[in-house]
Amino acid sequence: KWVWGYTPFNSIEFGKARQWRILTRSNGKISFQNVQTGTCMSAYKNGVIHLPCRENNPSQLWNINPFSNRAIQLQNEATKTCLQTPVIRTKNFGNIFLAKCVTQQNPSSGNDNISQQWVITAPLTSTPPIFVID
């Protein structure tokens, strides 16, 4: 039940399993619910798994910390750690894990936060062309 990261091209066959719904909770936190399975992203040890959704489970609650470039950092409520994935990958997928939150970008100190920057986009779905030129 581990959550992995794939490129859009390498996850086409996953269908709705690669789509996550954002649930806003009454306490102002958010949860991520998988569209296909209905399970929620949950912090587990130093990684992320998906489990049945529980609105008040702090392992399934996330804070959004905005960056100045419009990317966001996702901080888990239970662990106070942040969602991270390696920027450089040697495979078609990447580990998604939890690490100490890096609050400012300072590459010279080795504390670059690029691996904790996320962008939320519309779901990737197959669509027909708007028009075809003969």
Distance, CA of 44 to chain centre: 14
Q: Are 53 and 40 in contact (CB under 8 A)?
A: yes
Which tens digits make up the pLDDT trace of 33-76? 999 999 999 999 999 999 999 999 999 999 999 988 889 999 99
Q: Is 90 exposed, middle or buried (0-12, 13-18, 19+ CB in 10 A)?
A: exposed
pLDDT value at residue 63: 96
What percent of the chain has a predicted confidence (pLDDT) above 70? Answer: 93
pLDDT value at residue 12: 75
Per-residue HEC secondary structure of 33-50 comes to EECCCCEEEEEECCEEEE
**Average pLDDT in the chain:** 86
Mean pLDDT over 104-133 rounds to: 75
Q: At residue 7, does pLDDT exceed 90?
A: no
Q: At residue 112, does pLDDT exceed 80?
A: no
Reported as a pLDDT band with limits 50, 70 and 90, residue 87 is confident
| CATH of span 4-116 | 2.80.10.50
